[in-house]
Amino acid sequence: MKLTIGISIGIVVAASLMNSAMAEMMVFPAKGQSNEQQEKDKFSCYGWAKQQSGFDPMVVPKTSTPAPSQEKKSGGIVKGGLGGAVLGGIISGSKGAKRGAAAGGLIGGVRQSSTNTKTEQKTEQWQQQEANNYANNRNKYNRAYSACLEGKGYTVK
């Protein structure tokens, strides 16, 4: 649970950083519009761009899909060791049980580590996908906002 909250906070922070970097549009009143008119036009274009793109830069970003499970498995060495001891004991007696426990513990630990690595990879892929979704949605909004302002006689860079 703590890890999921940490990841969500990380995404919000990353999105906020991207948000501020992308929001640095410079708007120039090319037809001599007053500051008051410029603010009215910006607000009008904000609403229009939000409607056109389905994205609102004033809302805290939310993930579009739930985060993958962050639960890391434990006990693989113990489980593998017990399984190996039982199997070794059945096959070769007490010496086989000791060898089986060692081999089973090693295999169980490797299997557990591999599963945990896959969990981490899924989380990283999910984070990247969410960041890309945010960037794409923000880009659509920025294009719509710029088009609106340009249509009202502003130069936007």
Q: Is residue 90 scored above 90 in pLDDT?
A: no
Annotate 123-155 with b (16+ C-beta within 10 A) or e (fewer). beebbeebbeebeebbeebbebbbebbeebebe
pTM (2 decimals)? 0.58
Look at residue 100 and give its three-state secondary structure.
helix
**Which class for 45: exposed (0-12), middle (13-18), buried (19 or more C-beta within 10 A)?**
buried
Helices 35-53 and 76-151: angle between axes, nearest 10 degrees: 130
Q: Which of 33-42, 66-75, 147-156 has the lowest mean pLDDT?
A: 66-75
Q: Whole-angstrom Cα distance, residue 138 to residue 69?
A: 27
Q: Whole-angstrom Cα distance, residue 55 to residue 83?
A: 54
Name the pLDDT band for 50 (thresholds 50, 70, 90): very high
Q: Whole-angstrom Cα distance, residue 5 to residue 155?
A: 41
pLDDT at 75: 54
Six-digit token string for 1: 């649970």
pLDDT at 87: 53
Q: Is residue 98 scored above 50 in pLDDT?
A: yes
Rounded percentage of the chain residues whose pLDDT exceeds 90: 39
What Å distances lie between residue 33 and 27, 38, 45, 148, 153, CA to CA? 11, 6, 15, 15, 9
Name the pLDDT band for 108 (thresholds 50, 70, 90): low
Six-digit token string for 32: 């001599």
Average pLDDT over residues 95-100: 62
| Per-residue pLDDT tens over the stretch 132-146 | 999 999 999 999 999
